[in-house]
Structure 1
Amino acid sequence: MKLYRDLFTNDDMISDGYKLELIDEVVFKVKGTYRAKGESDYGIESTEQLDENVEQVIDIVDTFELQEFSFSKKQFGMWAKGYMKKLKTHIEENNPEHLKTFMKNISKFIKGVASEFDEYAFYLGKSMDSESAVALMRYGSDGLTPYFYYIKDGLYGKKV
C-alpha cells in the first residue's frame, strides 16, 4: 500500500487503499464514505444501515486525522497563490518537464473551486499547517457522497 503524505509537513493525507482518480494530471479525486466512529473499513463501503445513535464520520477525515479548516474566499486565493508558488519551485527543481502541464491545469482547477467556493469544505493534515496541502471536499450530485480533491504534486507516496 502507498501512503500519500504532504510534501512540506509529512502529514498523512490519503492512501492508495482508496481509488484515486487522477484529473488533468494534477488532482486526485477520492470518494469518501460515512461510517461509524471507530470502525476501520479502509475505503470499503458498508451496506449496513447507519445507526443514528452512533457518531458518523467521513472515513477519510477520520482515518487520516484531517482537521476541518475555514477559509474566506479571499484567504483561499491567498493560500492558493502562496502554495502554488511553493509547488512551482519544487516542480522546477524535481520534475521540470511537468511544470507547463501543472501550471495550466492547476490554474483551471483553482479557478473552478473559486467559482463554486461555497460548495467546498477544507481540511488540513494533522499539523494544521495552513500553508501546506489542503484536502478540498465537495458533496456529489446526490448531496450525500463526499468527494475529496488533493493537489497531486503537493503529495509524495511512501510504501508502507
Structure 2
Amino acid sequence: MKVFKDVITGEELFSDSYKMKLVDDLYWRVTGKLTTESNDVDESVYGGNASAEGGGETFDSNVQSGVDIVLAHRLKEVCDLGRKEYLKLFKEYGTKLNDYYKKNHPDQVAEFQEKFQTLLKEVRKITKDEEFQYFQSESASGEGMFALLGYEEDGLTPYMIFYKVGLEEEKH
C-alpha cells in the first residue's frame, strides 16, 4: 500500500486504498464514500456479563460519521474559509513549496514553478465552478496542503483533491 504525505508537514493525507485518478499530472482526485464508524466497546469480547443487580459498567457511545478519507486519515476541516481566502492560502502554500523544492530538489525548481502556475489556474477554475470544504492534515497547523472536498453531481459521492507537487509517496 502507498501512503501519500504532505511534503511540508510530513503528515499523512491519503492512501492508495481509494479509487484515485491523476488529473493532467497536476492533482489526485480521490473518490471516497460517506460512512459511519463506531468505537463502541462490546463487553462480550471481554467475556463480560451484565449483572442481574444492574451493576455493570457502561460506556459512552463513540460514533463518527463523515467521509471515509477524512476519518481514516484524521484530516481536520478548516471552517469559515471562503474561495478568496483559500486562493490566498494556496499562493502562500506555493511559496512554501518553492522553498521546499529549492532546498530538497534544486534540479526540479523550474519544473515545479511551471506546474504550480498551471495548477493555480486550474484551482481558480474549479473553485469558481464548484463548492468545496477545505481540509488539512491531522495537526491542522496551517503550514501544509489545504485539500479540497467536493461531491459528484449525484450529491452523495464525495471526492477529494490533493496536489501532486505537494505530495511524497511512501510504501507501507
TM-score bracket for the superposition, by shorter chain length? 0.7 to 0.9
Query: Secondary structure of the residue that 1:3 maps to in structure 2?
Result: strand
Give the CA deviation at 1:97.
Answer: 5.9
Q: 2:151 maps to what in 1? A: 139
Equivalent pair of 2:8/2:100 in contact (CA under 8 Å): no
Q: 1:66: which partner in 2?
A: 75
Q: CA RMSD in A?
A: 2.1
Q: What aligned pairs does 1:1-160 form with structure 2 within 5 A after superposition?
A: 1-38=1-38, 55-70=64-79, 71-91=81-101, 93=106, 95-96=108-109, 98-99=111-112, 101-116=114-129, 119-160=131-172
SS of 1:143 mapped into structure 2: coil
Whole-angstrom distance in 1 between the partners of 2:146 and 2:108: 21
SS in 1 for 2:28: strand
Q: Distance in 2 between matches of 1:100 and 1:55?
A: 40
How much does 1:56 deviate? 2.9
Counterparts of 2:9 and 2:113, CA distance in 1? 25
In 2, are the aligned partners of 1:24 and 1:105 still within 8 Å (CA)? no
Structure 2 residue matching 1:30: 3-state secondary structure: strand
Q: CA deviation at 1:154?
A: 0.8
Q: 3-state SS of the aligned residue for 1:37?
A: strand
Q: Please, what TM-score do these two structures have when normalized by structure 1?
A: 0.80
SS in 1 for 2:66: strand
Q: Give the Cα separation in 1 of the matches to 2:66 and 2:77.
A: 12
Q: Which amino acid counterpart does residue 32 of structure 1 have in structure 2?
A: G
Alpha-carbon separation, structure 2, partners of 1:154 and 1:99: 10
Aligned residues: 145
Distance 2:35 2:11 in 1: 22
Moved more, 87-96 or 132-141: 87-96
Q: Percent identity?
A: 28
Mapped contact 1:140–1:146 kept (Cα < 8 A): yes
TM-score (norm: length of structure 2): 0.75
Give 3-state SS (helix, strand or coil) of 2:170's partner.
strand
How far the C-alpha of 1:73 sits from its partner, in A, is 2.6
Distance (Å, rounded) in 2 between the aligned partners of 1:20 and 1:74: 27
Distance change >3 Å, CA 126–CA 26, structure 1 → 2? same
